[in-house]
Amino acid sequence: MANRWRNTLTTADVTPEAMFLNRRQVMAGAAAMGLGLTAAPLRAATGLEPNSYEDITSYNNYYEFGTGKEDPARNAGQLTTDPWTIKIDGLVEKPGDYVLSDLIPQMTTEERIYRFRCVEAWSMVVPWNGFELADLLDLVGVKPEAQYVAFETLYRPEEMPGTRFPVLDWPYREGLRLDEARHPLTLLATGIYGKPMPNQNGAPIRLVVPWKYGFKYIKSITRITLTDKQPKTSWNMANAREYGFYSNVNPQVDHPRWSQATERRIGGGLFARREPTLMFNGYDEVASLYEAMDLRKNF
């Protein structure tokens, strides 16, 4: 099990929201926002300027609200996110239906700036607020035989117009190996820029796994299941040739229909310069999780 990622900042280091939105604190690292919670910068993200709140909330993939990048912002406002319950079941010591508003106060919440890499070869840098998934797993107790964590998204056709079409086999499903889930970089995010998570970004709670492609970041989570078998995942079920279970960012493995060797930063304009894609999206600290694996075969 990975050691918890720690920091030495205190509430005295909190940067005012206006300064954060003006991007003045980036070179000094991420600072706590909103509730005055402590935070720390990631080495791999240090010096990266976060995308604007407008960029992050207006250009999204969330097929439950439509397949266009602007559809989620247009259609997600009708989603009801309070109250919110997450069913936690399978190989856990304390299964049950957990109310999110009761759960969050038990977690250590931080803000972290992470790269977000989309399989369509565009990227963002997002200041996420959330807590380590490992903390939640410790709270519910993981049985020794568990090897994977499976997730499900809300399925509510009356509020999610995209689910009325068979784009995917709803509800949306994702999964991680248990050691990936326990890695200190893996977050359950509840906000952006110190504000509550917008509906179009996966309110009220979503997964963030910064070394993987964005479709692994399952949104609006309603179920978490510990299992001893590799779970089925939505895009892998839809097209296994194009979307593997692991979905690690690997510039040496192209998508069958386009190269993954470079990426374009959202918000940089039509003629934004393409940058080389970094292995594991720049998060070298996860490389040890895959030392014995062929990452071309296990893409």
Query: 131-149: per-residue pLDDT in tens?
Result: 999 999 999 999 999 999 9
Does residue 36 surpass a pLDDT of 60?
Answer: no
Q: Is 206 annotated as a binding residue?
A: yes
Q: Is 17 annotated as a binding residue?
A: no
Band the pLDDT of 29: cuts 50, 70, 90: very low
Q: Is 74 annotated as a binding residue?
A: no
pLDDT (tens digit per residue) in 43-92:
336 567 899 999 999 999 999 999 999 999 999 999 999 999 999 999 99
Does residue 243 surpass a pLDDT of 50?
Answer: yes
Q: Is 177 annotated as a binding residue?
A: no
Q: Is 69 annotated as a binding residue?
A: no
DSSP annotation of 228: S
Q: Is 24 annotated as a binding residue?
A: no
Does residue 8 surpass a pLDDT of 50?
Answer: no
Low-confidence winner among 37-46, 61-70, 161-170 (lowest mean pLDDT) = 37-46
Spell out the domains of the chain, with CATH numbers in brackets. 11-290 (3.90.420.10)
Q: How confident is the model at residue 39, as a pLDDT?
A: 39
pTM of the predicted structure, to 2 decimals: 0.86
Q: Is 201 annotated as a binding residue?
A: yes
Does residue 9 surpass a pLDDT of 80?
Answer: no
